Chains A and B, each alone.
Chain A
């Protein structure tokens, strides 16, 4: 892995066992992600996009192959090291937002700081600043149920970014949003990318992928089948 790379993936496989049958979600993926890159993964359902994202996010462990990051190699990390990797190196957002329903927007964002080295006394301000930065100043004390889909996803982005990760992993972040909100969310991701952050986004929306990405990778049946340049220079 050279200095411009932030993630290097080689011969990555993932097998799931469902009863007696085995499902190979990834069949040998090789991928190199540059620091500061906006990378989109597209493909049909079941092509392995989300599995790849989960493996990069340290939520799952590969069957074989390696994911190299500046903090270590996923697959060889201990569960505690992997948790620390998730806490510091990556931020994740999801299609269904995955906010904790009984916590306010601010409390949801603060939750991400519980597992970092942030001082407990600074958490509230950090969370509030991040939500204000994303245009949710008036929504700090609202619960997810009181927010629109776009607002919920912005809270989720705030939660992912508040811990200042190296890589933002977005799993179909616009899947539950209308066009305007989708564009707004992608703008937020692109804005963060412009500041030097690395984004890996899984999406079904090819137009958005082309518009906001440096590279678009198409996956099919657990392998990367195509790579095209995105709209970003």
Chain B
């Protein structure tokens, strides 16, 4: 008996009992549809996060933050004060120190201050990030949603996030390109010091400073969260702005302790992800405090795994119910074909042939159910993706596709459908193989 014979007989038997086969296969279809679409969601979320991390070069970059360093950990320590901490100020010499670490591609400073942004009568408070123009050559700034990164460190240009444009009243965020915005900073007013003392504190020591900048680029923001940097200005342009560069009282306390102000943070880019761990370990060994998303992502992967398992379990429930249907169908089939089994045995079929025939029938049910279920699951995820994107865009967010159906998930879904069906058919097929031919040939 050839494989073609086995499959031919299996398809033939299923075709003969159309209604029953349809109902049995429907169970598998629903199970695989649920399983594949739920897992597609889990995989999609993970893929989306991973893609965005890669897009933003978060796997090859980390931030160095100002930190208290214990002297003994530094190369220039002295035996006298091994426990006395000192504050590392992130300045140019630190940048040079870091840039010499093997595996480091580049180090960029970052400064941040609070400001109010005004445009066409609308205003919004935000943090303003000052970056070097050369950062426009690397991700995420090398790929803008619209427009370009600013042309030089002293350009009177700015790059804005989509969300901030919406907050400023631009329903079509793209239309903010070329518009002039005003960055309003708070600055110390030295001339107000005397009047402030004279008035007993009734006169404010601060004043508003206004800087007009032209929006030259719109930041790409198709991640799960909103773009963390809402407004980016050129480094020198920012330095020339009169401003109190702090966001909280902690910044002032830190400045007082450091005896001056360094950079808010440094961004360190590695040549590749392979160097990531070595560079991070070196930085930490030298006493720098680091923060990287790559570390967080490992934790996220664990969370995604749990989510995938839970989603898979829900899909599995449907498939377990379907498997009961398959087992029931197979047992009914044995009863109906009791005499046929005897005939085949009298013609020379052995137990193996009979078992194979019934197993193949279960497998065919699983295969058809798997393929159709996967197709329906895919259609379902596409519909859901369109609806979700439509809803997100309606809410002023960037629409994202949260489903992914990689080839391995497709193969695994069909294989799983076949596997579960074979398991469900295992016991009935064994029972069929054990049919006594003498008994079955006399059976009416």
- Check: A210 CB closer than 8 A to any chain B CB: no
- Check: A87 CB closer than 8 A to any chain B CB: yes
- Are the C-beta atoms of B346 and A59 separated by less than 8 Å? yes
- Having A111-B343, A115-B349, A120-B4, one finds 7 other A-B pairs with CB under 8 Å, namely A59-B346, A60-B438, A79-B351, A112-B347, A115-B353, A120-B5, A163-B348
- Are the C-beta atoms of A114 and B347 separated by less than 8 Å? yes
- Check: A225 CB closer than 8 A to any chain B CB: no
**Shortest beta-carbon distance, B97 to chain A, in Å?**
78
- Are the C-beta atoms of A87 and B340 separated by less than 8 Å? no
Q: Which residue of B lies closest to A83 (CB)?
A: B350
Q: Known: A57-B346, A87-B347, A88-B348. Is A114-B438 also a contact (CB below 8 A)?
A: no
- Are the C-beta atoms of B437 and A159 separated by less than 8 Å? no
* Nearest 6 CB-CB pairings of A with B: A87-B348, A115-B348, A83-B350, A86-B348, A112-B347, A59-B437
**Shortest beta-carbon distance, A54 to chain B, in Å?**
5
By a CB distance below 8 angstroms, the chain B residues around A88 are 348
- Are the C-beta atoms of B345 and A86 separated by less than 8 Å? yes
A to B CB contacts below 8 Å, 29 in the list: A54-B438, A59-B345, A59-B437, A59-B438, A60-B437, A60-B438, A79-B350, A79-B351, A80-B350, A82-B350, A83-B349, A83-B350, A84-B348, A86-B346, A87-B348, A88-B348, A94-B441, A98-B342, A98-B346, A100-B340, A102-B16, A114-B5, A114-B347, A115-B1, A115-B347, A115-B349, A115-B353, A120-B4, A159-B347
By a CB distance below 8 angstroms, the chain A residues around B345 are 59, 83, 86
- Are the C-beta atoms of B1 and A114 separated by less than 8 Å? yes
CA distance A99 to B340 in the complex (A): 8
Q: Known: A59-B346, A115-B353. Is A98-B438 also a contact (CB below 8 A)?
A: no
- Check: B255 CB closer than 8 A to any chain A CB: no
Interface size class of B (residues with CB under 8 A): 20 to 34
CA distance A98 to B343 in the complex (A): 7
Chain A-chain B contacts (Cβ-Cβ < 8 Å), number = 63
- Check: A155 CB closer than 8 A to any chain B CB: no
A77-93 vs B, Cβ < 8 Å mask (1 yes, 0 no)? 00110111011100010
CA distance A88 to B345 in the complex (A): 12
- Check: B2 CB closer than 8 A to any chain A CB: yes
Q: Number of A interface residues at 8 Å Cβ cutoff, please give it.
A: 26
Q: Which residue of B lies closest to A171 (CB)?
A: B441
- Check: A116 CB closer than 8 A to any chain B CB: yes
**Shortest beta-carbon distance, A120 to chain B, in Å?**
6
CA distance A92 to B344 in the complex (A): 11
By a CB distance below 8 angstroms, the chain A residues around B1 are 114-115
CA distance A87 to B2 in the complex (A): 15
CA distance A112 to B353 in the complex (A): 13
- Are the C-beta atoms of B344 and A111 separated by less than 8 Å? yes
CA distance A102 to B15 in the complex (A): 11
Which residues of A, 94-132, contact B by the 8 Å Cβ criterion? 94, 98-100, 102, 111-112, 114-116, 120
- Check: B243 CB closer than 8 A to any chain A CB: no
B335-375 vs A, Cβ < 8 Å mask (1 yes, 0 no)? 00001101111111111110000000000000000000000
- With a 10 A CB-CB cut-off, give which of A80, A92, A98, A159 has the most chain B CB atoms: A98
CA distance A115 to B353 in the complex (A): 9
**Shortest beta-carbon distance, A191 to chain B, in Å?**
22
**Shortest beta-carbon distance, B353 to chain A, in Å?**
7
B75-108 vs A, Cβ < 8 Å mask (1 yes, 0 no)? 0000000000000000000000000000000000
Q: Which residue of A lies closest to B9 (CB)?
A: A114
CA distance A115 to B2 in the complex (A): 9
CA distance A88 to B347 in the complex (A): 9
B246-280 vs A, Cβ < 8 Å mask (1 yes, 0 no)? 00000000000000000000000000000000000
CA distance A175 to B413 in the complex (A): 54
Which residues of A, 51-70, contact B by the 8 Å Cβ criterion? 54, 57, 59-60
Q: Which residue of B lies closest to A102 (CB)?
A: B16
**Shortest beta-carbon distance, B335 to chain A, in Å?**
15
Q: Known: A98-B339, A100-B340. Is A116-B348 also a contact (CB below 8 A)?
A: yes
**Shortest beta-carbon distance, A77 to chain B, in Å?**
11
B307-350 vs A, Cβ < 8 Å mask (1 yes, 0 no)? 00000000000000000000000000000000110111111111
- Are the C-beta atoms of B348 and A92 separated by less than 8 Å? no
- With a 10 A CB-CB cut-off, give which of B1, B346, B348 has the most chain A CB atoms: B348
Tell which of B343, B348, B353, B441 touches A100, judged by Cβ atoms closer than 8 Å. Answer: B343
